[in-house]
Structure 1
């Protein structure tokens, strides 16, 4: 089946759409092709599945420009032969599309072009369950070629078409594994509490888990000068897909930083894919590319469809009719009102990277807001004399016996948790007496400190901090025997915790965010 669209006539540029029918007749593709057709400069030919799969390339339609990209069942090698025979202009080059099937090659290619990726290591097996000398698995980590990944970590199949990605959690958080997968109904992940060992039936990439605040960022390029970005709820959160009243997944346009815009340009150029989607992780003020998807369109964004059609028109005219003007007309053919000269092509997404006309970009938003509903702030106080805790205080206050210490960072709190675990007995005593009541109360408070520090499985946020204040100290001989030095023998430990958003607070924050996104101009 060959579908020819357009008014025909000499002088028109012929655009061949050589993709599987499921993609050719998808809503985003139809929206953009309809806009290209409205310019009156193009004849669009949709090849169809029968032509692509059954007919020899010699009788395929001839075209000036070719839109071709891989999806399930697509004969990429056959299309390459057609492109070599007819030599059309390719929007997305074909040879680099092989890279996208192998996550190892994707990461290697990204690194080759200096594009940041998460810290990772490869485990390559020639057959299932192959034992490898360089791969070690323990309860709370895996080690690959001497590089250790502490749980939580991510496990990805090297096959880019396999979307079963696993996240393994540490025993301190209860263990278990979360499986991420392509959306099935309203689910995008499933937690398996009893799965603790990693898979061994194939080859995998292991990489550090990067906390992103519960959102994923999807970036869509149309040429190296345009990038549209959207955020969605991460499947890591609870696996429930957030949908609007129409049943569509909720996504919000987001602004890319200048560094992220350069990354979008680099991805587009590195893989030689004009229209390209990739996944971005934002963690600790830095951004990383964790997947490249190839040809991808934004869904349900008419502004994006307008932008994409205008940019593709310019790409086609520059390639096949450079003598014709590719300037955007004052009135777009599918619109009745004129294009505003200052509107540019940046409004909905992260927009253009210095390609078209005048454009404006939101640089900052200053707001004064109050936090939503949260749990009460709580405090635990206890006097400690244990040497492990006193040494920890000295470690982080520069060895000064009379100076208090504040423990806030993940490393500091992990040191305190390790020390507390060694001090708390594994089981409670079944018999108590008045003589050891104080000791029991002390142990119970240490047990409470340990429970608070273990909460959540990893240290993030700002709702836990510990102060250690010296109360008593004595003079002891220096280790080298040269005089005396002060040494603390008792300190007051103050653990402050709580103030975490409740479900109601999270809902308040999300509603405020939705209101802000929908009403800001």
Structure 2
């Protein structure tokens, strides 16, 4: 029996998580069952790349595999994983180049626009770092910072000099402008760096709400003294939209190779823009309620998944005006639903079918299955 190897390349904490382990276990069962109907049967071998190897060894020393699941989380060397992919060329279930784009909110929004996914209006203010140097994707701007962006009361607001594109950033406490674009409070300020989760909502008349990754039972904090926006790095500004019922929607999608298309699961939760505390169940999990996506929401969700090419992808929606409008407000990349066996089984079945599809593609390219080529040493 031939062996088909699935490589898992991510941080150890992710692959050891209960959701991932459950999905892998179900996927092995589903793969074995699907292979019973195949003329040529394969055994699935899951190869977990050791974290110390991924972090410290050259890609030439990484394990070999036929198909690869690799995804970014804090500390993961994404560019190194891309080098491995380019060296070995396994069937990649998660587009690694798109994962680079997901680290930049501006690039993410441009991809969403291209896929005709509804987004809030936005102003993107690109700035240099405090040392005066621009990140590679921002080299077309040359902005010079004046002020720390956090002055309050009667102090003068910070100002930004003209960029090479001829745009000037200004703010007066109730609005901001960048070139000819202007936005009045209330608005949301998000770092262009998607790994920076320090988001701030600014209210008209002064005051702000600081959003951050959950710390025990806290997800946001009011700051009544904050008036002016930050000027230390690049930010995206969007109008503050109040979600229906002060809720937002977390969507989890899984790409499938067969009909009826991607599997989508959605949950509502209390939005951190309206609640300081996390609402939890007796077991400690965040309180969430399953919700059904509308026809239009499902349609643009499918376009989103296909645009980013991730086998598993989570993203956030905001429903406004009694459900008449829905916007995508964030794309999270690889993320799982917790404590949901139905989701695990759907994800596992999709994974097994995807691997079977990759085998079929490989067999066609190999010609005779008995002469499966070996990866280069």
The reply to whether TM is greater than 0.5 is: yes
TM-score by length of 2: 0.79
Q: What does 1:352-363 align with in structure 2 at a 5 Å threshold?
A: none
Which residue of 2 is the match for residue 19 of structure 1?
10
User: Which range moves more in the overlay, 247-256 or 126-135?
Assistant: 126-135
Which residue of 1 is the match for residue 151 of structure 2?
none
Larger Rg: 1
- Which runs of 5 or more residues in structure 1 are unaligned? 1-9, 325-521
Picking from 6, 17, 20, the partner of 1:29 is 20
Q: What does 1:42-61 align with in structure 2 at a 5 Å threshold?
A: 42-61=44-63
Deviation at 1:147, TM superposition (A): 2.5
Which residue of 1 is the match for residue 317 of structure 2?
280
Deviations 1:478-513 (A, max 9, x none): xxxxxxxxxxxxxxxxxxxxxxxxxxxxxxxxxxxx
Deviation at 1:95, TM superposition (A): 1.0
The answer to whether the aligner puts 1:163 opposite 2:197 as a matched pair is yes
TM-score by length of 1: 0.58
Decide whether the 8 Å contact of 2:28 with 2:352 is kept in 1: no
Deviation at 1:265, TM superposition (A): 1.0
Picking from 350, 356, 363, the partner of 1:311 is 350
Given the superposition, is the C-alpha separation of residues 137 and 306 from structure 1 closer, same or farther in structure 2, using an over 3 Å criterion? same
Picking from 300, 305, 312, the partner of 1:263 is 300
- Which runs of 5 or more residues in structure 2 are unaligned? 33-42, 131-144, 147-159, 163-167, 256-260, 364-377
Decide whether the 8 Å contact of 1:280 with 1:289 is kept in 2: yes
Deviation at 1:11, TM superposition (A): 2.3
Deviation at 1:12, TM superposition (A): 3.5
1-structure distance, mates of 2:161, 2:237: 15
Which residue of 1 is the match for residue 89 of structure 2?
87
SS at match of 1:38: helix
Which residue of 2 is the match for residue 217 of structure 1?
249
User: Which range moves more in the overlay, 301-310 or 68-77?
Assistant: 68-77
Question: RMSD of aligned C-alpha atoms?
Answer: 1.7
Decide whether the 8 Å contact of 2:116 with 2:300 is kept in 1: no
Picking from 146, 150, 153, the partner of 2:187 is 153
2-structure distance, mates of 1:108, 1:132: 25
2-structure distance, mates of 1:66, 1:57: 14
Deviations 1:229-266 (A, max 9, x none): 11111011221000000101111111011111111111
Runs ≥4 residues deviating over 4 A: none
Deviations 1:271-313 (A, max 9, x none): 1212111111111211111111111111111110011001111
Picking from 102, 105, 117, the partner of 1:103 is 105
Which residue of 2 is the match for residue 181 of structure 1?
212
Given the superposition, is the C-alpha separation of residues 37 and 242 from structure 1 closer, same or farther in structure 2, using an over 3 Å criterion? same
SS at match of 2:2: coil
Greater relative contact order (Cα 8 A, min sep 6): structure 1 or 2?
2
Picking from 173, 176, 189, the partner of 1:139 is 173
User: Which range moves more in the overlay, 185-194 or 195-204?
Assistant: 195-204
Deviations 1:190-248 (A, max 9, x none): 00001111111111111101110211111111105211111111011221000000101
Deviation at 1:14, TM superposition (A): 1.3
Q: What does 1:178-257 align with in structure 2 at a 5 Å threshold?
A: 178-213=209-244, 214-223=246-255, 225-257=262-294
Q: What does 1:330-369 align with in structure 2 at a 5 Å threshold?
A: none
SS at match of 1:12: strand
SS at match of 1:67: strand
Deviation at 1:322, TM superposition (A): 6.2
Deviation at 1:323, TM superposition (A): 10
Decide whether the 8 Å contact of 2:68 with 2:92 is kept in 1: yes
1-structure distance, mates of 2:21, 2:325: 36
1-structure distance, mates of 2:96, 2:173: 43
2-structure distance, mates of 1:37, 1:169: 51
Deviation at 1:98, TM superposition (A): 0.7
Which residue of 2 is the match for residue 409 of structure 1?
none
2-structure distance, mates of 1:47, 1:253: 34
SS at match of 1:210: coil
Decide whether the 8 Å contact of 1:36 with 1:42 is kept in 2: no
SS at match of 1:246: coil
Decide whether the 8 Å contact of 1:219 with 1:278 is kept in 2: yes
SS at match of 2:176: strand
